[in-house]
Chain A
Amino acid sequence: MSARITLATARRVMWQIRRDRRTVALLLVVPVVLLVLMRYVFDGQPGTFQAIGAPMCGLFPFIIMFLITSISMLRERTSGTLERLMSLPLAKADLLAGYGIAFGLLAALQALVVCLVGFLLLGLNAPHGAWLIGLLAIGNAVLGMALGLFVSAFARTEFQAVQFMPAIIFPQLLLCGLFVDRHEMASFLYGLSSALPLTYAYDALARATHPGPLGGRVAIDVAVIVGATLIALALGALTLRRRTA
């Protein structure tokens, strides 16, 4: 692994994103529009808006980076550029870290915009500071990226890749506790949700948006997010093959 190649890869991914202005605009505008929509859907229940909208600020980057990475990595696989890279002196870790840096920066920008709107304009509360939501958002985005990278190996076409969002992300959103408290679910679902990384991502965000002490549980949540990211990256690295059939 080399810092020079990692940074060159991050720069290349950012050049690609920069050229696609419409995608950048959608990345920054869509979460804000959804948050504003939520604000007025829950017009009569400000408590619900706080309970769902505030953690959502830190979950958008997870969802979007999963989708974007699974498609961009699929493109690398189908366009032959991955095969070319694998025949060059580039370590798999350079490619993974390069993507991580580029999409991490993009996620930071997205989190910044959505947090500014949510916490300054729409009246959401961040009792422990909006910066904490922002940091968790970036961590979640890197987790989403790592998962997207891994699942891209199981798609042959972009049509298949987009289906992984409802297949892999939606169930985690339903089970993570955002809409229904996990203790009120059927007990097998509670068990299942304990094994899903988004549950911990949401738990950290829920604590960061609630008044009262943060507690040691947040540290566990962060450790699980980091661990799940590393496992997904390792699995993703396994799908980057120097030799193919």
Chain B
Amino acid sequence: MPPAAIKIEDLSVVRGGRPVLHDLNLQVAAGSVTGLLGPSGCGKSTLMRAIVGVQIIQAGDVSVLGEHAGSPVLRRRVGYLTQAPSVYADLSIGENLRYFAAILEVGEQRIGEVVHTVGLAGRERQVVASLSGGERSRVSLATALLGDPDLLVLDEPTVGLDPVLRAELWGTFRELAQAGSTLLISSHVMDEASECDELLLMRDGELLEQTTPERLRERTGEQNLGRAFLSVIKQVSR
């Protein structure tokens, strides 16, 4: 097994007085595309925030690329896409990227590359407030890609995108993994699970299963991953 890019031991998080994650243990292999799947509200975003190091945690260890999650050296090595697009709505696409590029010390050329990757080339002068929801989230994704990070934590990157662009982005994610990056991608669309090497199935703040698309299909006897996930939930509830 390749070395772990993310290693989580006994992680517990409480938000607003409610336990969101309890005693979570998992590992994510370096260079893999790992899908984090589960119904909304199951703790996917909180887990991602803990990995990026912006979440206050109650117990446990989160280690990322061999460092404590959130340690200063990781700020250049981890790219993070929040669920809601976190870019400046009153700036243009180009201005947003130039600002974040200055923080990450990357040049104009890299800005051109990421704009192309998310399919917004030629529209750099457009103000983010005038973009559609899907376009805004692509600007946010471009920002996360800027620093060419070793680990990309993407919270629902394909939500609200058309099927063509969605397929293109999954192709991009695959290329990034082949180039050596590790990707952790959350989704509640189960048909995207087949694009992943590894799957983390979550429900109610707990990890139900760490598996692969093939093993999940085999074990449940379901070809459709959505139905396979449902049958896992049924088994657990029994």
Contact = CB atoms under 8 A, between A and B. Distances in A.
A222 interface: no
Interface in B81-108: 82, 84-91, 95, 99-100, 102-105
Contacts of B127: 19
Nearest to B15: A245
Contact of A88 (B15, B75, B85, B88): B75
A16 B103 CA distance: 17
A90 interface: yes
B198 to A, nearest CB: 24
Contacts of A22: none
B70 A243 contact: yes
Of A8, A9, A81, most buried by chain B (CB within 10 Å of CB) is A81
A87 B53 contact: yes
Nearest to A8: B102
Nearest to B52: A87
A70 B72 CA distance: 28
Given A83-B86, A84-B80, A89 B54 contact: no
Nearest to B50: A243
A79 interface: yes
Nearest to A5: B103
Interface residues of B, number: 31
Nearest to A17: B90
A19 B90 contact: yes
A244 B15 CA distance: 10
A42 interface: no
Interface string A74-91: 000001110111111110
Nearest to A85: B103
B143 A84 contact: yes
Interface residues of A, number: 25
B55 interface: yes
B55 A87 contact: no
A89 B80 contact: no
A87 B54 contact: yes
Contacts of B100: 84, 88
A73 B102 CA distance: 20
B78 interface: yes
Given A5-B103, A8-B99, A16-B90, A83 B54 contact: yes
A12 B80 contact: no
Interface in A1-25: 4-5, 8-9, 11-12, 15-16, 19-20
A16 B75 contact: no
B56 interface: yes
Contacts of A88: 75, 100, 103-104
A118 B47 CA distance: 58
A156 interface: no
Nearest to B55: A243
Interface string A195-224: 000000000000000000000000000000
Interface in A45-99: 79-81, 83-90
Interface string B42-83: 000000000011111000000000000010100110101010
Nearest 7 CB-CB pairs, A to B? Answer: A80-B86, A8-B102, A12-B99, A89-B75, A84-B86, A243-B56, A80-B82
27 contacts: A9-B99, A16-B88, A19-B90, A19-B127, A79-B86, A80-B84, A80-B85, A81-B87, A83-B54, A84-B86, A84-B100, A85-B103, A86-B54, A87-B54, A88-B100, A90-B103, A242-B53, A242-B54, A243-B54, A243-B55, A243-B56, A243-B70, A244-B54, A244-B55, A244-B56, A245-B55, A245-B56
